[in-house]
A and B are shown apart, each in its own frame.
Chain A
Amino acid sequence: MEYEFPDELKYLQTHEWVRIEDNIATVGITDYAQHQLGDIVYVELPEIGTTLKKGVNVAEIESVKAVGELMMPLSGKIIEVNTGLADNPESVNSSPYGTGWMVKIEIINNSEIDELLSVEAYKEIVKTEKK
């Protein structure tokens, strides 16, 4: 099984991806994660304006047989959520890095960015998990 992991993104061990543009981080779940969960039926997104710390649960992704948690990759304020997922949760499966994005965060602590994983490091993690 070949998963897609775009080179320009950052990753977390808990299978989130992060796209950083200036001080805004866009977050979603990786191709591996969406495959593990199966067909996504519902995504519960946070309220805009909430401020959360790194590592805290920020969204829940439901499939028919499982629930996944989206963890905050960085501390920040939620400034936008992907409301399109309400009608099209399947975007998380078909386009996990595109229309399947979940939240946009205004980053509070830039030093946390260094703690994110590179694509190579993340690929290693996936390799280990698959065993």
Chain B
Amino acid sequence: MDPKDSLIFEKGNKNAQTNFIPKLDIECDELEDIIPKNFIRDEVQIPDIPEVEIVRHYVKLSKINYGLDSGIYPLGSCTMKYNPKINEHIARLAEFSQIHPLQEENEGALQLMHNISNMLSEITGMDGFTLQPAAGAHGELVGLLILKKFFETKGVVKNKIIVPDSAHGTNPASAKMAGFSIIELQSNEYGEVPLDHLEFAMQQGDVAGIMLTNPNTLGVFDRQIKDITRIVHKYGGLCYYDGANLNPMLGICRPRDMGFDIVHLNLHKTFSTPHGGGGPGSGPVGVTNELIPFLPIPCIISIENGIVCTHDRIHSIGRIKAFWGNFGIILRAYVYILSLGAEGLKKVGQIAVLNANYLRIQLQKKYHLPYNRMCQHEFVLSDKDMPNEITTEDIAKRILDYGFYAPTIYFPLIVNGALMVEPTETESKRSLDDFVEVMEKIYYEAINTPEKLKKAPLNTPIGRLDAVKAARNPILHD
């Protein structure tokens, strides 16, 4: 498809259609009586486009886009699990989609948010939640601002945050937005946090806390997690849990028990809400009792008369988003948790780990597995030892040729040429076997016909694009 003559704007028409305009049913004055002439613009440069052209255009585009409903999407740290259709149906019901955030008759909405907060508390072991953050990174910012406020109210100056070198880029970026600077710890040969380095860093006295995900981005569970959180607490710091990798822990293990004080969750990962091509997501933050006073406003609390909303929190970090977080997404996650129940959630954790290890044990026969141990929901391969100078990028692009989506590439940064695979619990054995078969085929191609990988992808609507040209001379609109 050559985009040059197929942007939607090329499909305009001189005939304006007014299919979506209600009939004007009142007496009107001249526009110039209502608003000064010099405030009025020239015509908007968006053409009038016939309805059928719009439909065909976007149907065509959808067909050259790979979604999870098309096939396996083994992106590490993204948890691309099946998005239940019942969630979509309920989110569109008028009683949820047509309510205004400032309307008073909102008992159902408040109740829903109160209920899911309790469920998330049970799942994570935390004492209270805010549903305000609109994404995981937003949740990280909230969690770090809570840390900041916590120490401010104590009159203590702690302006550093520890992150491991395997951390997702949002962790240090969020810390910076909250005014902290970073101490990066090098993971040891098991991919875990070295306790002696941790203790040394904490001894300096200015560390507010640590940001960790466990299992980490290598997909391994840090067996010393209780020691890690103990050491941080010993020196007066707090522990932040990045919940991006919570999926394998559902019903198995809880961040609170590991020793964490603050947790953020990604509803668009662990709790099945759709990724939407990059959002909207939702990043609720859970805290211990001690930190509840610092949660952003407004808060939802349960009182005698029912559930109400309050702004009455003198130690709150303040407001972090207008209105109510991404309610439509929160609602979908609530339906998911209700649908699965206790048993279903536990099964998620178990099967997510089963599926990942099933892939790992087979793929490691051909591909280098830098951390050769039991993985949780994901594992990381690398392009080390690949013949003919085949890189991770080449492998990923060739996977596209076989009609699958590629795993995450070049992350985490601590593995050169990382290929991070997370199947999730909703992949069938058949789907996993197909993926293994393709990976094996590609391995043999790397040996025998490497040019197929070097030139890949060959079967997609477009070949590899010139990213350098795009960044040197950006064309960001038509």
Contacts and interface: CB of A to CB of B under 8 A. Distances in A.
A–B proximity contact (CB within 8 A): yes
A63 B472 CA distance: 9
A89 B471 CA distance: 11
Interface string B444-473: 000000000000000000000001100110
Contacts of A62: 471
B223 to A, nearest CB: 29
B190 interface: no
Contacts of A64: 467-468, 471
B371 interface: no
B66 interface: no
A119 interface: no
A62 B471 CA distance: 9
Contacts of B410: 65
Nearest to A38: B468
Interface residues of A, number: 9
Contacts of A89: 472
Contacts of B468: 39, 41, 63-64
A38 to B, nearest CB: 8
Contacts of A41: 468, 471-472
Nearest to A90: B472
B257 to A, nearest CB: 38
Interface in A46-94: 62-65, 89-90
Contacts of B471: 41-42, 62-64
A36 to B, nearest CB: 13
A21 B314 CA distance: 61
Contacts of A39: 468
A130 to B, nearest CB: 13
A41 B467 CA distance: 9
B169 to A, nearest CB: 12
B465 to A, nearest CB: 11
Interface string B70-87: 000000000000000000
Interface string A86-109: 000110000000000000000000
Contacts of A42: 471-472
A43 to B, nearest CB: 11
Contacts of B472: 41-42, 89-90
A63 B471 CA distance: 8
Nearest to B468: A39
Contacts of B467: 64
Contacts of A63: 468, 471
Nearest to B473: A41
Nearest to B467: A64
B263 to A, nearest CB: 30
B383 to A, nearest CB: 15
A46 B471 CA distance: 20
Contacts of A90: 472
Interface string B388-413: 00000000000000000000001000
A82 B36 CA distance: 48
Interface string B160-186: 000000000000000000000000000
A89 B410 CA distance: 25
A90 B468 CA distance: 10
Most-contacted residue by chain B among A39, A89, A90 (CB, 10 A): A39
A93 to B, nearest CB: 10
A119 B46 CA distance: 59
B29 to A, nearest CB: 52
A39 B410 CA distance: 17
Interface in B278-323: none
B60 to A, nearest CB: 29
A45 to B, nearest CB: 16
Given A63-B468, A65-B410, 11 more contacts: A39-B468, A41-B468, A41-B471, A42-B471, A42-B472, A63-B471, A64-B467, A64-B468, A64-B471, A89-B472, A90-B472
The 5 residue pairs across chains A and B that have the minimum distance between CB atoms: A41-B471, A39-B468, A64-B467, A41-B472, A64-B471
Interface of B: 410, 467-468, 471-472
15 contacts: A39-B468, A41-B468, A41-B471, A41-B472, A42-B471, A42-B472, A62-B471, A63-B468, A63-B471, A64-B467, A64-B468, A64-B471, A65-B410, A89-B472, A90-B472
